[in-house]
Structure 1
Amino acid sequence: MLQLENISLTFGEDTLFDGISTIINPGERVGLVGPNGAGKSTLLKIIAGEINQDSGTINMSKAATVGYLPQDGVDPNPDLTVYEEVESAFEGIQKLEKAVQQAREKLANLDEGSPEYQKAMERVGSLQSKIERSGAYSLESNIEKILMGLGFTPEDFNRSTTEFSGGWLMRIALGKLLLQRPMYLLLDEPTNHLDIESLRWIEQFLSSYDGAVIIVSHDKAFLNKITKRTLALENGELFDYAGNFDYYKEKHADYKEHLRKAYENQQKEIKEIQEFIDKFRYNASKAAQVQSRIKQLEKMDIIELDEREEEIFFEFPPPERSGAVVMELEDVRKQYGKNVVFEDLSYTIDRGDKIAVVGPNGAGKSTLIRIISGIEDIDGGNREPGYNVTTSYFAQHQADELDLDKTVFEIMRDAAPKATETRLRTLLGCFLFQGDDVFKKVSVLSGGEKSRLALARMLLMPANFLIFDEPTNHLDMQSKSILQQALQQYEGAFMIVSHDRDFLDPIVDKTLEVRPETTNTFVGNVSYYLEKVEEREQEADASQDNSESNKKNGLSRKEERRIAAQKRQRKSKKLKPLKKKIEPLEEEIELKEERKQEIEDLMAQSDFYDDEDRVKEISMEYEKLKGELVEVYAEWEELAMKMSEIEEEFS
C-alpha cells in the first residue's frame, strides 16, 4: 500500500499541492490527469523520491519498490550496448550468480564428510533457490521479449546506446523498468516515443502487470484501455474518480456544471449583499445590518472557476483550392548509405485527403513526409506537386529554428504581420501561452513550449496541404481537442504521422502503413486499420498452421493415427506426475489470492486506519501472505516450465 498524506508544495507564490492525500493499493491501474502546470510530473517525482515536498509524508512498506520513467532526460551508460544497459538493471542477480560460483569453487576443495562441506552445500542450495525465485533463468528470454516488444530488432541488441536518438533511449529506460517489475510503476508520458505496434504491445503488457501502475498521459485511448481509476489534479487539490478517463470526464463535467451553477448563485447573492451595503452604508438606523452583511461577505468561501477551462476555438482560414491531385510520387528511391528506405515507391495524394501515417519506428514514416514536403531530396523517381498546391510542414526539430532573441508574440507577429492581436493571442492561448507568457523570450522556453510555439506559428501560414510529424507530443488534452476540431473543419488535404488513435480517428479517412520496403493504404481511420492488421495476423497464423499440418510424410492414415496415439500416451505419462504436484499448488494460490484480495478490499475502506492494532495485525498478515505467494508462485512456475517443455517436445 502506497499512502500520500497531506502533501503540500509551493513554488514561490504558487501553491502546487495543498495538503493532498490518497492511497494506491497493490495492483491498481491509476491515471493521473490535469491541465499542464497542475503538477502531475512533480507528484510522480515526489513519490519516486526525486524531489522533496514541503510537508506531508509518503508511506509504503519497506519491501515496496518504486520504478519511475520521466518524460525525458534519461542517461544510459555510453559504454554499454542496448542489451547490456537493460541487463544492468539486474546487478543483484549477477551478484547472486557470482556468489554461487564462489561457493561451488569452495565446495570442490572440501571433504564431503566434513561439517564445512555440509554448510557449503546448504549455502549453495540457499543461493540457488534465491536465483530461481529471482527469475534469472528466464532473464535472457525476458530481455529479448521486452526489447523486441518496444521495437528493437535482434541486430539492435549489440549496438551502443550512443547510436540511438532520445526517443529510443526512452524506450531502453522503459524496458529496464518493465523487466525490474517494481511494485509501483510510475510512467510519465510513456507513449510519446512509441509507434502504433509498440503501443499495442505495452497495452497488453501493462494489462497483465502484477504491480500498481500510475500513468501520466495525454493519450485518452491509452488511459481508457489501461486504467480503472483516475486521480485529477486541479488548483492544488486531488480528486478521486473510480473509473477510467472517459468516466472521469463524465463525472468531472457534472461537477463543473454544479460548480458553475453554485458560482452563479453565489455571485448573485454577493451582488445583492453589496447593493444593500452600498445603499445603506451611511444610514445610521441600518448600521448593524450593514456590518452584519460586511462580515457575511468576509466569511464567505468564494467559489472560483478555472479560467483555463474556458472554451477556446481555432479555425483555419479557408485555403485556396488546389488541383484534383495534391502530390504524386512515382518510382521514388531513397537511401542513406547502404540502407535503402524506399525503392520504386509510387503514391498519390488527392484534394481533400485526410491521411494518418503509421508503422514501426525506423520504417521511414518521417523520411516519407519530408520527401512529400520537399525538404528531403530523392535518389531516383519523380516528386510532382499538384496545381496551385501550397504546403505547410511541422516537425519537432523546427522548434530549434526559432529566433531565441524574440518573444513568443513576436514570433507569431512575424509569421502573420496582418493578423490582429486578438487572433494571435487566441491561437497562442490554444497552445497554452496565456497572459504574460506571450512576452517570454524564446530562449527561456522549454523544449515542449518551443514545439508548441512552432506548431502555432505553422498554423498561421495559409496552405491547402498540411503535413505534421507527431504534432501532439507536447500538447495537453484541451490543446489537442482544439487542434482536432480545427482539422475536422479544415477544407484542404493533410498528412499526420502520429500514434495517438484518439486524436486521429475522428479526423482521418485514410491510413497509410509504412513498413520496410513496402507501403499499404487502408480506406478508414486508425482503429479500422488496427482491426485489419489483427485479421491479417490471424490469417497468417492460420495459414502457417495449415501449411505444417498438410505436410506429407509418406505414412498411411492408419499408421499416422497409431503413431499419434503412442505420442499422446508418452506425453501423458510424463505430464501426469507434474500435474499431480501442480494442482494443489494452484488451489493454494487461489486461496491465498482470495485472502489477499479480501485484505486489499479492507485497506481500501475509509475507516480501516481508525484502529491501529487492527491495521498492524492485518498489515503483518498481508506482508506474510505476499511472501508466501512469491514462494508458491516460484514453485508453480518451475513445474509449469517443465510441463511447457514437455508440451513443446511432443508438439
Structure 2
Amino acid sequence: MLALENITLHLGDRELLDGVSTFINPGERIGLVGPNGAGKSTLLKIIMGIQECDEGSVALSNEESLGYLPQDGVDPDFTLTVIEEVESAFAELFELEMKVKTVQEKLAEVDHDSKEYEQLMERYGKLQTELESSGLYGLRAEVEKVLMGLGFSEEDFHRSTSEFSGGWLMRIALAKLLLKRPTYLLLDEPTNHLDIESLQWMENFLNSYEGAVVVVSHDKAFLDTITNRTLALRSGEISDYAGNYSFYEKKWEEEKELLLNAKKNQEKKIQQTQEFIDRFRYKASKASQVQSRVKQLEKMDRIELEEEQSKVSFRFPEPPRSGQVVIKLENLHKSYDDTQVFEGIDYEIERGDKIAVVGPNGAGKSTLIRILAGMEPHQKGERIEGHNVTVNYFAQHQADELNPKKDALETLKEAGSDAKESRLRTILGCFLFQGDDVFKKVKVLSGGEKSRLALAKMLLSPANLLIFDEPTNHLDMSSKNILQQAIQQYEGTVVIVSHDRDFLDPIVDKVLDVQPGYIKTYLGNVSYYLTRKREEAEAESEKPSPQKETKEDNQLSRKEQRRIEAERRNELNRQTKPIRKKVEALEKEIEEKELRKAEIEEEMTKPDFYDDAENVKKFSLEYDQLKADLTDHYSKWEEYQSRIEAIEAEMTVDS
C-alpha cells in the first residue's frame, strides 16, 4: 500500500497542501482532480520524491515500485533510435543477457574436465534460468506492440529520437513507463499528446493493467472510462469518492448544496449572536453572556465556499452571416518535400457546420485545418472561400505571437473589442486569470497560461468561421465547460481538432476522419464515429482471405492457428482476470445490498413501522443509501462488462 500521511506544503503565505492524508491500494484506478493550481501535479512530485514537503511522509514497501509521467520536460537520449530509447528502460535485462554470453564464451575456452568448467556451468544454468524468466525474449515484441498502440509506425522504430517533436517524445516516455509496469503508475495529463485512436488503445491497456493507476487529467471521458475512485484536491484538502469522475461530480454537487445551506444557517446564527453582543455589550447584568457569545464567535469554524467559476459564462460576438458554402477544397494536393500528405482531396464546409477533425497523429489533421484557415500553402488544386467569410484560427503556437510587454488585460483590450473592462476581466476569469493575475506580463506567463490567453483573445473577434487546434489542452474542467457552452450557442461555423470526446460530443454534428491517404466524413458526433469505426473494423476482419492454400499449407496453418488461439486465450485471460475479479466482488456486494434492501422494504410494510419516528428516519436513510449504492454498483458492473467485451473485441480483431 502507498500511504500519504499529513502532507503539508506552503507556497509563500499560501497553504497549497494542508495535512493531506490518504492511501492507494495496489490495483486501484484513481482520478486525482481539482481546479488548476490546487496542487495535483505537486502532490504527484512529492510522492515521487521530486518535490519536498514542509511536513508529512510518503510510505511505500521495498517490494513495490513507482512510475511517473510528468506533463512535459522529458529528456531522452538523442543519440538513440526510438526502439533503443524505449529498451533503455530495461538495461538490467540486457546486462543479464551479456553476462550469459560472457559465460558462454568462457565455457568454450575452459577445459571441460576442470573444476572451473563445472563452476561456470553452474553459474550459466542460474543465469540462463533467470534470463528465461525475465521476459527479455518477448520484450521486443511487447515494445513494438506498445509503440504501435501509441501511434508509431514500424518505420519510426529506427528513426533517431532527435527527429521527433515534444508530443512524440512524451509518447516515447509513456511507452517506457507502461512497459516497466510499476506497482503504482502516476500519470500527469497523459492524454494531451494523444490522438483519439491511441487514446482508445491506452484506455484498453490501463483497464487491464495489474498495478495501480493514479491519473491527473481534464479529459472527463478518459477518467470515466479508466477510474473507479476519485481523489479531489480543493483548498489544500483532499476528499475521497468511491466512483469515477461523473460519480464524483454528482456527489460534489450534492455536497455543495448541503454546504450552502449550512453556510446560510451559520451566517444567520452569527448575525443573531452579533446582534445580542451589540445590544447588551454595555449592560452589566449581561456581561458574562456577552463574553460567552464573543468566545463562541471566535471559536466558530467558518464555512467557506469556493468561488463558483462554473456559473460564469460568455457568448461569442454575433458573427456576420456568410454564404451557404463557407470553404471548398477541390482536387487539393499537399506535400512536404517527398512526403505526400494529401493527393487530390475534395471537401466542402457549409454554414453552421460544427466539425470535429480526428485521426492518427501524422496523418495531416493540423495541416488540413491550416489550409482551411488560409495559413498553409498547397501545391495543386483550389481553396475557395465563400461569400463574406471571416476566419479566426487558434493553434498552440499562437501563444508565441502575443506581445511579451503587455499584461493579460491589455492583451484583451487590444483584441479589437469594445467590451468593458469588467467584461474582459470576466472572460479572463473563465480562462483561469483571477484577481491580480490579469496584470501579469505575457513574458512571465507559463506556456499553458499563454495558450489560454491566446484563446481568450481569439474569442473576442466576431468571425463566422472558428478553427481550433487542440483548444482544451491547458483548460481545467470548469473552463472547458464554459468554452463548450459558448461554442454550442455560437451561430457560425466551427472546425475543431481535439481528442477530448466529452468536450466534442455535445458540440459537433460531423466528424472528418483524416487518415494517411484519404479523408472521410461521418454524420454524427464523435461517439457515433467511434461506433461506426469499430463496426467497420469488425466487418473487415470477418472478410474471407483471398489467398489460396495448398493442403500442406492448410495443415501447417491449422497447427499454427491452434498455437495462436492458445496464446490468445492465455493473453485474454491475463488481461481480463483482474477485471473479472472485480466483477465477482461487485456481484457479491450487489447481492448483499439487494438482500438488505428487501429486508428494509419488508419492515416498511409492517403496520407499526411509522410509529417510531427515529426508527423511520434511520431506516429511510439506510434505504436511500442502499439505492444510491446499488445504482452505482450496477453502473460499475456494466462498465466492467464493457471493458471485458472491449478487450475481447480488440483481441478478436488482432487475431
Which runs of structure 2 are paired with 1:488-503 in the superposition (5 Å)? Answer: 488-503=488-503
Q: Is the 8 A contact 2:330 2:383 kept in 1?
A: yes
Deviation at 1:16, TM superposition (A): 1.2
Which runs of structure 2 are paired with 1:357-396 in the superposition (5 Å)? Answer: 357-396=357-396
- Aligned partners of 1:205 and 1:446: how far apart in 2? 32
Deviation at 1:525, TM superposition (A): 0.4
Query: Which one-letter code corresponds to 2:219 in the other structure?
Result: D
Deviation at 1:158, TM superposition (A): 1.3
Q: 1:552 to 1:263 in 2, by over 3 A?
A: same
Query: Which one-letter code corresponds to 2:123 in the other structure?
Result: R
Q: Is the 8 A contact 2:317 2:461 kept in 1?
A: no
Partner of residue 74, structure 2: 74
Partner of residue 604, structure 1: none
User: In the TM superposition, what whole-angstrom CA distance separates every residue of 1:558-597 from its partner, at most 9, and x where no partner exists?
Assistant: x99xx87x9979999x99xx99xx99xx99xx99x99xx9
- Aligned partners of 1:295 and 1:310: how far apart in 2? 37
Partner of residue 194, structure 1: 194
Which runs of structure 2 are paired with 1:209-288 in the superposition (5 Å)? Answer: 209-288=209-288
Partner of residue 320, structure 1: 320
Deviation at 1:489, TM superposition (A): 0.7
- Aligned partners of 1:326 and 1:212: how far apart in 2? 49
Query: Which one-letter code corresponds to 1:163 in the other structure?
Result: E
Deviation at 1:445, TM superposition (A): 0.4
Q: SS of the counterpart of 2:311?
A: coil
Q: Is the 8 A contact 2:4 2:57 kept in 1?
A: yes
Q: 1:570 to 1:377 in 2, by over 3 A?
A: closer
Partner of residue 610, structure 1: none
Q: 1:81 to 1:424 in 2, by over 3 A?
A: same
Q: 1:237 to 1:569 in 2, by over 3 A?
A: closer
Q: Is 474-483 or 236-245 further displaced after alignment?
A: 236-245
Partner of residue 122, structure 2: 122
1:104 equivalenced with 2:95 (yes/no): no
Q: Is the 8 A contact 2:509 2:524 kept in 1?
A: yes
- Aligned partners of 1:570 and 1:349: how far apart in 2? 50
Gaps of 5+ in 1: 602-647
Q: 1:408 to 1:61 in 2, by over 3 A?
A: same
Partner of residue 142, structure 2: 142
- Aligned partners of 1:459 and 1:19: how far apart in 2? 40
Q: Is 127-136 or 424-433 further displaced after alignment?
A: 127-136
Q: SS of the counterpart of 1:42?
A: helix
Query: Which one-letter code corresponds to 2:75 in the other structure?
Result: D
Which runs of structure 2 are paired with 1:635-646 in the superposition (5 Å)? Answer: none
- Aligned partners of 1:491 and 1:336: how far apart in 2? 36
Q: 1:569 to 1:96 in 2, by over 3 A?
A: closer
TM-score normalised by L of structure 2:
0.84
Query: Which one-letter code corresponds to 1:137 in the other structure?
Result: Y
User: In the TM superposition, what whole-angstrom CA distance separates every residue of 1:382-401 from its partner, at most 9, and x where no partner exists?
Assistant: 11111111111100000000
Partner of residue 331, structure 2: 331
Partner of residue 641, structure 2: none
Q: SS of the counterpart of 1:37?
A: coil
Query: Which one-letter code corresponds to 2:37 in the other structure?
Result: G
Partner of residue 291, structure 1: 291
- Aligned partners of 1:506 and 1:440: how far apart in 2? 34
1:58 equivalenced with 2:58 (yes/no): yes
Deviation at 1:113, TM superposition (A): 4.0
Deviation at 1:289, TM superposition (A): 1.7
- Aligned partners of 1:411 and 1:32: how far apart in 2? 33
Query: Which one-letter code corresponds to 1:465 in the other structure?
Result: L
Partner of residue 169, structure 1: 169
Partner of residue 156, structure 1: 156
Deviation at 1:428, TM superposition (A): 0.5
Query: Which one-letter code corresponds to 1:389 in the other structure?
Result: V
Gaps of 5+ in 2: 589-653
Partner of residue 473, structure 2: 473
Q: Is 116-125 or 1-10 further displaced after alignment?
A: 116-125
Query: Which one-letter code corresponds to 2:404 in the other structure?
Result: L
Query: Which one-letter code corresponds to 2:160 in the other structure?
Result: S
- Aligned partners of 2:287 and 2:309: how far apart in 1? 41
Q: SS of the counterpart of 2:414?
A: helix
Deviation at 1:94, TM superposition (A): 1.1
- Aligned partners of 1:98 and 1:273: how far apart in 2? 79
Which runs of structure 2 are paired with 1:215-614 in the superposition (5 Å)? Answer: 215-309=215-309, 311-543=311-543, 545-547=544-546, 551=548
Q: SS of the counterpart of 1:19?
A: strand
Q: 1:568 to 1:497 in 2, by over 3 A?
A: closer
Q: SS of the counterpart of 2:342?
A: strand
Deviation at 1:370, TM superposition (A): 0.6
Q: Is 306-315 or 29-38 further displaced after alignment?
A: 306-315
Q: SS of the counterpart of 1:415?
A: coil
Deviation at 1:283, TM superposition (A): 2.3
Q: Is the 8 A contact 2:417 2:460 kept in 1?
A: no
Query: Which one-letter code corresponds to 1:316 in the other structure?
Result: F
User: In the TM superposition, what whole-angstrom CA distance separates every residue of 1:582-620 from its partner, at most 9, and x where no partner exists?
Assistant: 99xx99xx99x99xx99xx9xxxxxxxxxxxxxxxxxxx
Compute the RMSD of aligned alpha carbons. Answer: 2.8
- Aligned partners of 2:215 and 2:417: how far apart in 1? 42
Q: 1:368 to 1:308 in 2, by over 3 A?
A: same
Deviation at 1:136, TM superposition (A): 0.2
Partner of residue 620, structure 1: none
Aligned length: 580
Query: Which one-letter code corresponds to 1:458 in the other structure?
Result: M
Query: Which one-letter code corresponds to 1:363 in the other structure?
Result: A
- Aligned partners of 2:25 and 2:133: how far apart in 1? 24
Q: Is the 8 A contact 2:310 2:479 kept in 1?
A: no
Q: 1:359 to 1:42 in 2, by over 3 A?
A: same
Partner of residue 208, structure 1: 208
Q: Calculate percent identity across the aligned residue pairs.
A: 61
- Aligned partners of 1:50 and 1:227: how far apart in 2? 25
Q: 1:26 to 1:318 in 2, by over 3 A?
A: same
Query: Which one-letter code corresponds to 2:44 in the other structure?
Result: L
- Aligned partners of 2:549 and 2:341: how far apart in 1? 40
User: In the TM superposition, what whole-angstrom CA distance separates every residue of 1:136-169 from its partner, at most 9, and x where no partner exists?
Assistant: 0011111111111111111111111111111001
Deviation at 1:540, TM superposition (A): 1.0
Deviation at 1:552, TM superposition (A): 7.0
User: In the TM superposition, what whole-angstrom CA distance separates every residue of 1:91-144 from its partner, at most 9, and x where no partner exists?
Assistant: 101110111111122222333344432322221121112222221001111111
Partner of residue 643, structure 1: none
Query: Which one-letter code corresponds to 2:354 in the other structure?
Result: K
Partner of residue 630, structure 1: none
- Aligned partners of 1:75 and 1:388: how far apart in 2? 47
Query: Which one-letter code corresponds to 2:385 in the other structure?
Result: P
User: In the TM superposition, what whole-angstrom CA distance separates every residue of 1:247-286 from its partner, at most 9, and x where no partner exists?
Assistant: 1111111111111111111011111111221222222232
TM-score normalised by L of structure 1:
0.85
Q: SS of the counterpart of 1:307?
A: coil
Q: SS of the counterpart of 2:91?
A: helix
- Aligned partners of 1:393 and 1:475: how far apart in 2? 18
Q: SS of the counterpart of 2:542?
A: helix
- Aligned partners of 2:473 and 2:57: how far apart in 1? 33
Q: 1:61 to 1:448 in 2, by over 3 A?
A: same
Q: Is 336-345 or 163-172 further displaced after alignment?
A: 336-345
User: In the TM superposition, what whole-angstrom CA distance separates every residue of 1:499-548 from its partner, at most 9, and x where no partner exists?
Assistant: 000000000000000111200000000110011111111111111x3545
Q: 1:310 to 1:570 in 2, by over 3 A?
A: closer
Q: 1:371 to 1:123 in 2, by over 3 A?
A: same
